């Protein structure tokens, strides 16, 4: 069924098609009847997993970038995802890079994007997340709802979508002041986030990836950890912090970054973001600047996962993302040692049924 919808959607530019699907999913998720209908169509069995003190109804999440401003949380929940990583959110609103800035590489089942963190900003996104948070507390939400006591210690009953908030700095914030941006976001989103993802690996914000260097990273994570500790006390809940890394680090750089992350009391690692590499592509868009995602990213993402699993040696859970296009891909990542998995580009090529298909297969 998706193949027909896909050809209509692909007649629009990638950004327009994405905006339309997000709008439709947002609306369908908010209306009780359509939420119910979507949940029936995309019914997925529970495959509960526990990671960093949270109970996920299944290991599959929608990766950051799909719902940057938290517009379609309930829709994503109805598609069967166990968690949604909202963002990247920046403190202040910003437009991102000029269009065109997203390209479909059809023959490669890939996407290149150079969006550069278009974000409605912290205040707007907090307002989007607030109703979902309130509903979870007041138990009015249609779904299995956690008790207030469980919510405060960060343990959510099965049935709910958990929310990660992926945070990044504004374009005009220099790296020396980046910690201020990240710290303010942890402070602002502490009531709403089940976990935080620190994004220092998008290739489309100049200099951002330099924050992965060991000294810069240690300094940034110290500030984030201090704020998280404060916010945990203030809101009486656990606030796990994960760090999202690039697939383009050398083996030595990755090992150094992992060592710093573990020493900085972080709760998990997300591997990987998009790549600047362009090996093995056939589509005419292959030379566009930006980060590559989808099928061709799988080899690199798996190599980074393998090294991360080995280096981390069970100390913290690992989230695998990058090139998961089929149920078998998803299963393999879990077998390789990932605790959770995420996808984005697979949804573009395989459609909304992919989440359910994957969860059933696990």
Ligand X SMILES: Cc1cc2nc3c(=O)[nH]c(=O)nc-3n(C[C@H](O)[C@H](O)[C@H](O)COP(=O)(O)O)c2cc1C
Q: Which residue lies nearer to ligand X by CB, 227 or 272?
A: 272
Q: Which residue has the tokens 């166990």?
A: 82
- Name, in order, each residue with C-beta under 8 angstroms of 70's C-beta and a sequence gap of 6 or more: 86, 125, 128, 129, 132
Is residue 113 at the binding interface for ligand X, with CB under 6 A as the rule? yes
Nearest to 76 by CA among 14, 143, 134, 25: 25
Q: Which residue lies nearer to ligand X by CB, 89 or 151?
A: 89
Q: Residue 280 burial (CB < 10 Å; 0-12/13-18/19+)? A: exposed
Q: Which residue lies nearer to ligand X by CB, 79 or 115?
A: 115
Alpha-carbon gap, residue 355 to 57, rounded angstroms:
13
Q: Which of 119, 202, 231, 320 is catalytic?
A: 202
x-marked contacts with ligand X along 156-175 as a string, rule CB under 6 A: ----------x---------
Helices 2-9, 14-30: axis angle to 10 degrees equals 130
Taking CB positions, which residue lies at the least distance from ligand X? Answer: 65
Is residue 324 at the binding interface for ligand X, with CB under 6 A as the rule? yes
x-marked contacts with ligand X along 255-294 as a string, rule CB under 6 A: ------------------xx------------------xx
Q: Which residue lies nearer to ligand X by CB, 128 or 202?
A: 202
- Smallest separation (angstroms) from ligand X to the CB of 34: 25
H or E element at residue 74:
helix 73-78
Q: Which residue lies nearer to ligand X by CB, 155 or 281?
A: 281
Task: Give the CA-trace dihedral at 219, 212, 264, 193, to 10 degrees.
Answer: 100
Q: Please select the residue that binds ligand X; options are 269, 343, 358, 359, rule is CB under 6 A.
A: 343
Nearest to 341 by CA among 91, 63, 102, 114: 63
Told to judge if 39 belongs to the known catalytic residues of this protein, a careful annotator would answer no
Cβ contact 145:139 at 8 Å: yes
Is residue 297 at the binding interface for ligand X, with CB under 6 A as the rule? yes
Q: Please select the residue that binds ligand X; options are 322, 338, 350, 359, rule is CB under 6 A.
A: 322
Sequence-ordered strand ranges (E) for 249-338: 268-271, 291-294, 318-321
Is residue 63 at the binding interface for ligand X, with CB under 6 A as the rule? yes
The catalytic residue positions are 202
Residues that bind ligand X (CB under 6 A): 63-65, 68, 87-88, 102, 111, 113, 115, 117, 166, 199, 202, 244, 273-274, 293-294, 297, 321-324, 343-346
């Amino acid at each position: 069924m998706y193949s027909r919808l896909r050809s209509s959607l692909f007649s629009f530019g990638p950004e327009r098609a994405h905006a339309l699907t997000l709008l439709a999913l947002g609306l369908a998720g908010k209306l009780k009847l359509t939420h119910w209908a979507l949940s029936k169509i995309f019914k997925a069995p529970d495959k509960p997993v526990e990671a960093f003190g949270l109970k996920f109804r299944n290991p599959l999440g929608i990766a950051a970038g799909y719902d940057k401003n938290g517009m379609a949380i309930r829709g994503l929940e109805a598609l069967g995802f166990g968690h949604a990583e909202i963002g990247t959110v920046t403190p202040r609103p910003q437009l991102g890079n000029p269009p065109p800035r997203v390209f479909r590489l059809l023959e490669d089942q890939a996407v290149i994007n150079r969006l550069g963190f278009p974000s409605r900003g912290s205040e707007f996104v907090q307002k989007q997340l607030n109703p979902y948070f309130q509903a979870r507390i007041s138990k009015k939400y249609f779904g299995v709802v956690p008790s207030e006591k469980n919510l405060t210690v960060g343990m959510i009953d099965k049935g709910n979508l958990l929310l990660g908030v992926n945070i990044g700095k504004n374009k005009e914030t220099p790296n020396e002041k980046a910690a201020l941006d990240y710290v303010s976001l942890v402070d602002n989103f502490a009531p709403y986030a089940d976990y935080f993802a620190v994004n220092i690996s998008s290739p489309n914000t100049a200099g951002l990836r330099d924050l992965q260097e060991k000294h810069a990273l240690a300094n940034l994570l110290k500030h984030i950890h201090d704020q998280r500790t404060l916010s945990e006390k203030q809101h009486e809940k656990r606030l796990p912090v994960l760090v999202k890394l690039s697939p383009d680090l050398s083996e030595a750089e990755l090992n150094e970054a992992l060592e710093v992350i573990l020493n900085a009391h972080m709760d998990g690692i997300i591997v990987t973001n998009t790549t600047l590499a362009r090996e093995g592509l056939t589509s005419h868009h292959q030379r566009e600047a930006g980060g590559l995602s989808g099928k061709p990213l799988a080899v690199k993402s798996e190599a980074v996962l393998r090294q991360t699993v080995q280096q981390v040696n069970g100390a913290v859970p690992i989230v695998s993302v990058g090139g998961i296009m089929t149920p078998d891909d998803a299963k393999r990542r879990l077998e390789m040692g990932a605790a959770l998995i995420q996808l984005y580009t697979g949804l573009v090529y395989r459609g909304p049924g992919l989440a359910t298909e994957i969860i059933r297969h696990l």
